[in-house]
Chains A and B, each alone.
Chain A
Amino acid sequence: MRELPFYSGVTLSAAEAPCYRARLVKALLVPQNRTVELPGRRRVRELITALKIIPGTVMVIRGDTLLTDGEIVEADEEVEVRSVISGGAPAEP
């Protein structure tokens, strides 16, 4: 089985690409408590953009560590994307 090539924001259904099985980055959005899955490894900034979030309004957390914009989140990894905006919940991406 081949890995889905890295194209930011590109998703292929099983019917469209039966020979590929997408390896997904899982982003847990907080405080919405919703998980969004995106295909392929990608940089933090690309992840945030794909989630339609303005950079600087969230912290991206992997385990006990904060990630800067240029760091790569590998496929199959799970990160927390935590809003820093107080005074109300952010709009749903």
Chain B
Amino acid sequence: MKCKRCQGKAEVQLRAHNAAFCRACFVLHFERQVERTIAKHRMLPPGGRVLIAVSGGKDSLALWHVLAAQGYETTGLHLSLGIGDYSAHSRAKTEAFARSRSLPLIVEDLNDDDLGIPTVAAFTNRRPCAACGTIKRHTFDAAALRHDFPVVATGHNLDDEAARLLGNVLHWQREYLAKQHPVLAPTHPKFATKIRPLYRLGEFETAVYAFFQRIDYVVDECPNSVGASQLDYKAVLNEIEERMPGTKQTFVREYLRVGHPAFAVARDGPAGECTVCGMPSFGTTCSYCSLIREVRAKRERKRAIA
């Protein structure tokens, strides 16, 4: 099989693009896709400041690598979730990546306040993924505000977006559909703009890019994600993609072109601010502070009984 660009020996085949690339041409293809996505959606000005949420996985590290290479002023933000060896491993990989490239990294560790995801989930009877989402959203918003970043970037890829879209459509989640866009403008002065520069690239492509760039990422997956519905949606979409290459790309692209404008009007921002942390909130207390208050109250009660 030959490279579509240089006719050399291909090392990667992309059925959705009906193309194959050698290593050098694939890297170029990947980086151009990111460049075009950023330009198309005006995600960042040239050399702009951006805070990148970095888990230690292939997508976020590939994103950080490519944005730093393209001259953006990047800082990584790693949230250590307190999930045993998995979190320790993820943190170590992220720190090693930042150190090897002399990139600035902010690390926040939930264990510092004894608020690791397993603890929060156990005390509140919430699913770990639900608690994790609430804590991550708050931490990213608060860190962007504290460190004065106008933009927060995440490594969501095409497969993540397609799976999320399928889930939202199956349940007709109008509010979530309104928020499903690669650029989310802030709905409150204390919020940063959220961007997803990898949304047009499949996770096969981000994995290949990370492999070619010798990025040492966490291959293991979060132990709490076993049975996550997003994985079922991904499995269904991968079956369809196998029979009809390019389906995921069309699904997301056409949603953004045709579907999203119809739902975008439904999007509302928080009117007030949380009386505890000062971050934007729909009620007097934001969902993060409510969660933490619940954990602390239940922990105190348990201690009192003991």
Q: Which residues of A contact B (CB under 8 A)?
A: 30-31, 54-57, 59, 61, 65-66, 68-70, 82-89, 91
Contact = CB atoms under 8 A, between A and B. Distances in A.
B242 interface: yes
Given A31-B219, A31-B220, A68-B20, A84 B207 contact: yes
B208 interface: yes
A80 to B, nearest CB: 10
B273 interface: no
Given A56-B242, A66-B208, A88-B227, 15 more contacts: A30-B219, A56-B204, A59-B207, A59-B208, A66-B11, A68-B11, A69-B13, A82-B207, A84-B206, A84-B207, A86-B157, A87-B225, A87-B230, A89-B225, A89-B226
Interface string B1-38: 10000000011110100001000000000000000000
Interface residues of B, number: 37
A71 B57 CA distance: 28
Interface string B213-244: 00000011110011110110011001101100
A49 to B, nearest CB: 10
Most buried by A among B208, B221, B242: B221
A6 to B, nearest CB: 21
Contact of A59 (B211, B221, B222, B241): B211
A60 to B, nearest CB: 11
A84 B160 CA distance: 12
B58 interface: yes
Interface string B51-78: 0000001110000000000000000000
Contact of B234 (A66, A87, A89): A87
A30 B221 CA distance: 11
A88 B235 CA distance: 11
5 contacts: A54-B235, A84-B203, A84-B206, A88-B231, A91-B235
Given A30-B219, A88-B221, A88-B226, A56 B10 contact: no
Nearest to B16: A56
